[in-house]
Amino acid sequence: MACLTRACAWRRQWPVLLASLYLLALVLAALLAPLLTPFDPLAADFDQTRAAPSAQHWLGADKQGRDVFSRLLFGARLSLVVGFASQAPILLVGGALGCLAGQRGGWTDALIMRLVDIFYAFPTTLLLIALMTILGRGFASLLIALTITSWAGVARLLRGQVMRLRRAEFVTAALGLGASDWRIFWRHILPNLMSTLFVMLSLGIPAAIMAEAGLSFLGVGLLPPAPSWGLMLSDGFSVVRSSPHLAWAPGLAIGLTMLALYILGDSLRDALDPRG
């Protein structure tokens, strides 16, 4: 029975282990990209245009003769920066408004929730495209657009969590002892929100990376010649029949990274928030 239990536990944990090892390798490769890449990711070599994978170019070269492997590693660095950097303003804006709505209630809650409803009324992808068109392509514009389109979900979830915690027995006891509302929030409610914040962070990072890749693929994300996986996929898609390696390399990188991040995020959610 003990062996059967260990075997079942291993079946549940091996995807998380593989995902963690992949992400660790990806982070190390991104950090060490200048040392691991044999070519400058921005340097064009028109003698190697659309070169097939070889000993010189391990994953081939793109339409400008730039080394695909080098661009993939530097693209990993760019994608991870987008994923992590975007979460700070999203959690700050959404978290502050959601906690304020749940803590104050009344007209404050009604006003913030109606604002949330307005943002939920717009399709996220279309709103992202419209914002990038208005703000212009670039890293700062991308962070602003992701914050505007993502804060509402964070606010709604944290508002519900704060309202649930305010009905908890330990909050009722603190109120009975004369503690103020904001003292209760900082000392009792906010620490109990940490697990929810970690889960949102773990699931928000892959969503931001996927959004950047999708926007860059559509031509409204980062500006070329940035080594973005979305830009690489867009360039490769136009010549997928004659040079399939230009599409499958960034496509596989995006797919594996999304899968690993979602597996890790899902396991973290199960560990920190068993109620799901």
Question: Which pLDDT score, from 0 to 100, does residue 95 have?
Answer: 92
Residue 183 belongs to some domain of the structure: yes
Residue 38 lies in a domain: no
The verdict on residue 225 lying in a domain is yes
What is the token pair recorded at 220? 């409204």
User: Measuring CA to CA, which residue among 244, 243, 257, 174 is closest to residue 213?
Assistant: 257
What does the DSSP 8-state code read for residue 46? G
pLDDT number for residue 275 = 52
What was the pLDDT predicted at 1? 47
The predicted structure's pLDDT at residue 90 = 93
Residue 193: CATH number of its domain: 1.10.3720.10
Q: Pick from 81, 68, 52, 60: which is nearest to 231 by CA? A: 68
Tell me how far apart the alpha carbons of residues 118 and 138 are, in angstroms, rounded to a whole number: 26
- Whether 42 maps to a domain, the answer reads no
pTM of the model: 0.83
CA–CA dist 198, 210 (Å, integer): 19
Number of structural domains in the chain? 1
In sequence order, the 6+-apart residues with CB closer than 8 A to the CB of 44 are: 64, 65, 66
Query: What is the span of the domain harbouring residue 85?
Result: 14-31+68-272
Q: Cα–Cα distances in Å, from 251 out to 40, 138, 231? A: 21, 22, 11
Residue 128 located in a structural domain: yes
Residue 252, token pair as written in the block: 């596989």
- The reply to whether 82 falls in a domain is yes
Q: For every one of its 276 residues, what pLDDT tens digit does the chain have, with 9 covering 90 and above?
A: 444 444 444 456 888 899 999 999 999 999 999 898 888 888 888 888 888 888 888 888 888 889 999 999 999 999 889 989 999 999 999 999 999 998 888 899 999 999 999 998 888 889 999 999 999 888 899 999 999 999 999 999 999 999 888 888 887 787 777 777 778 888 888 888 888 888 888 888 888 988 998 898 888 888 888 888 888 888 888 888 888 888 899 999 999 999 998 888 888 777 765 454
